[in-house]
Amino acid sequence: MAIPQLQVQTQPAKLNLKTNSAVHEYKQMKAEQSIQQPESDLSIRQRPGNLTIDQSNAWRNLHLKTVFERAEEFADYSNQKWLEGVGQTAREGDELMRIENKGNPIAEQAKRNAVMDFTYQPGDTPGYDLVKVSYDATPADIQVKPNAPIIEHTPRYPQFSYQRGNVDVTLAQHSEVRIDWKI
DSSP codes joined into one string, 107-135 = HHHHHHHHS------PPPPPPGGGSEEEE
Does this model's pTM top 0.75? My answer is: no
First vs last Cα of the chain: how many Å apart? 10
In angstroms, the CA 71 to CA 77 distance is 10
Q: Say what the pLDDT of residue 128 is.
A: 63
- 122 pLDDT above the threshold of 80: no
Q: Say what the pLDDT of residue 117 is.
A: 74
Using alpha carbons, select from 55, 21, 53, 44 the residue that is nearest to residue 126.
Answer: 55
Give 92-110 pLDDT, tens digit per residue: 888 888 887 777 888 888 8
Q: Say what the pLDDT of residue 100 is.
A: 79
- 6 pLDDT above the threshold of 90: no
- 78 pLDDT above the threshold of 80: yes
Q: Say what the pLDDT of residue 126 is.
A: 57
pLDDT band, very low/low/confident/very high, at 115 (cuts 50, 70, 90): confident
Give 25-68 pLDDT, tens digit per residue: 989 988 899 999 999 999 999 999 999 998 888 777 777 888 89
Give 143-173 pLDDT, tens digit per residue: 999 999 999 989 888 998 999 999 998 988 8
